[in-house]
Amino acid sequence: MISKIALLSLLLLSIASNADTASDIKQVVLDNLKYIQAEDIENSMATMHSQSPSYMATEEMLQQLLPIYDLKYEILKYSYIGEDDEYAYAKVLQKTSKISGPAFQTNKLEALQVFKKENGVWKLWTQANLSILFN
């Protein structure tokens, strides 16, 4: 009987932990887009893990893109996938449309995003683009 209670307690703690992770990484996604929308490179990069293999390329891309374009970013769909010992995963459908700037095609990007903790806080690690549809 005690082992069943202990097992149930562990299961409930695991479910609560996953719910916290899901909420935490969704907030990272929302914060990242909020800062990009505001053209705030410093805070946008703060949502990304400093050791990410994509960190420098992302920062350089933002420094080139943001002065030229004014874009609108929307999260159309967010699905928490899960986590393992080191990473958490979410699938995101994001729409990007031009407000002003040179020629740009509105698009919907579906991506699998990977998150990793840095100093106890979930940060964006990398993403794999699954599909992109142009309007």
- pLDDT tens for each residue of 12-44: 444 445 679 999 999 999 999 999 999 999 999
Domains in the chain, please, with CATH?
2-134 (3.10.450.50)
Phi and psi, residue 59, nearest 5°: -60, -45
Gap between the Cα atoms of 78 and 22, Å rounded: 10
Structure confidence at residue 10 as a pLDDT band (50, 70, 90)? very low
Taking the model in full, what pTM does it have?
0.85
Place of tokens 């970013």: 73
Count the Cβ atoms, other than its own, within 10 Å of residue 83: 18
Token pair in block for residue 69:
């374009």
Q: What is the pLDDT of residues 55-71, one digit of tens each?
A: 999 999 999 999 999 99
